């Protein structure tokens, strides 16, 4: 355990980038074989979503320094919940921190949906009309700032050391890319796995274009919180329509520059539009 802790304490950023890249490559190729939707321009879609990595990088760098300082401070001052509990080993501390952070990420995700000013920025992620591995990169820079600010606060609450945060991020990255992948597990397998973990089957429901499904399956890595607090829902793959009912126009949600300004549009604070007639026409969704 000490060697594992030492690795994460001095882990170079390149290793985390490699994990993200490798996860995307693996699930990207699985999508090429078993995708739910082959009828879209996958590379164009991926390039649009990947551009967010450029706008998010400066914020991740600045707030990453703040996160490092905060985690170092709570460790040196033995501040936070894990230091108040009788946890003797580093492994037991990590397990408790992992569970606590996952619960707090569940709460954070609910807030991003329920608080209008936060939803304005989270909307950009949800506006993707085709959810696949690249969608995990689709995060408005303001949401990146909000997410990392919350994480800093969560570190103050839990007392998580920096190595614990990095170790959890390794698992979190793989889980998030997997959950957004454009394929589904066999239902028999999913019914077992989704009792504990968020799967593509579960997360696709969260990306359905209308309430109440958009406000369900909030879990980050673990699905137990959704089941415990009654926010878990299932939906047949054939019925899932990706996107948000207020932003269905591809000209608006598939152009990077427009995505950056989307939170500031007149109807971005609205979570859903009134009841409408929905007609499927090939791959387009027509709102009448």
Chain segment 154-190, per-residue pLDDT in tens: 999 999 988 899 889 989 999 999 999 998 999 899 9
How buried is residue 150: exposed, middle or buried, by Cβ count under 10 Å (0-12/13-18/19+)?
A: middle
> What is the domain extent for residue 277?
2-287
pLDDT tens string 196-240 = 999 999 999 999 999 899 999 999 999 999 999 999 999 988 899
Q: Which of 55-69, 202-216, 237-251 has the lowest mean pLDDT?
A: 237-251
Assess whether pLDDT exceeds 80 at residue 274. no
Assess whether pLDDT exceeds 70 at residue 273. no
Q: Give how many domains the chain has, as a whole number.
A: 1
The structure tokens listed for 233 are 């829902």
* Cα four-point dihedral sign 82, 84, 85, 90: positive
- pLDDT in the model for residue 285: 42
Round the CA-based radius of gyration of the chain to a whole number and report it. Answer: 19
The pTM of the full predicted model, rounded to 2 decimals, is 0.85
Structural contact between residues 222 and 168, judged by C-beta atoms closer than 8 angstroms: no
**Average pLDDT, whole number, for the chain?**
85
CA distance linking residue 78 with residue 125, whole number of Å = 36
Q: What does the pLDDT average to over 88-117?
A: 93
Best CA proximity match to 68, nearest among 4, 20, 9: 9
Q: Which of 81-95, 96-110, 260-274 is most confident? A: 96-110
Facing residues of 286 across strands? Answer: 279
Assess whether pLDDT exceeds 60 at residue 281. no
Q: Which residues of 49-83 are buried (b: 16+ CB within 10 A; e: fewer)?
A: bebbeebbeebbeebeeebeebbeebbeeebbebe
């Amino acid at each position: 355990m000490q060697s594992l802790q030492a690795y994460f304490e001095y882990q170079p950023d390149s290793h985390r980038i490699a994990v993200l890249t490798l996860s995307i490559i693996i699930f990207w190729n699985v999508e090429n074989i078993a995708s739910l939707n082959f009828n879209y321009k996958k590379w164009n879609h991926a390039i649009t979503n990947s551009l967010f990595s450029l706008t998010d990088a400066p914020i991740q760098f600045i707030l990453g320094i703040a996160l490092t300082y905060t985690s170092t401070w709570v460790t040196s001052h033995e501040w936070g919940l894990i230091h108040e509990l009788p946890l003797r080993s580093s492994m037991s501390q990590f397990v408790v921190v992992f569970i606590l952070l996952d619960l707090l990420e569940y709460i954070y995700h609910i807030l991003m949906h329920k608080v209008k000013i936060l939803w304005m920025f989270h909307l950009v992620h949800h506006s993707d009309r085709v959810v696949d591995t690249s969608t995990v990169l689709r995060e408005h820079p303001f949401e990146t700032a909000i997410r990392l600010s919350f994480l800093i606060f969560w570190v103050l609450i839990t007392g998580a050391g920096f190595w614990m945060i990095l170790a959890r991020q390794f698992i979190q990255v793989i889980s998030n890319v997997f959950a957004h992948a454009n394929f589904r597990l066999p239902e028999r397998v999913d019914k077992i796995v989704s009792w504990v973990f968020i799967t593509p089957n579960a997360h696709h429901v969260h990306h359905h274009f209308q309430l109440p499904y958009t406000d369900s399956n909030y879990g980050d890595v673990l699905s137990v919180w959704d089941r415990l607090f009654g926010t878990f829902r299932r939906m047949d793959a054939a019925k899932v329509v990706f996107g948000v009912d207020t932003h269905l126009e591809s000209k608006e949600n598939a152009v990077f520059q427009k995505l950056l300004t989307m939170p500031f549009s007149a109807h971005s604070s609205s979570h859903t539009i009134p009841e409408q007639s929905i007609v499927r026409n090939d791959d387009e969704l027509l709102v009448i």
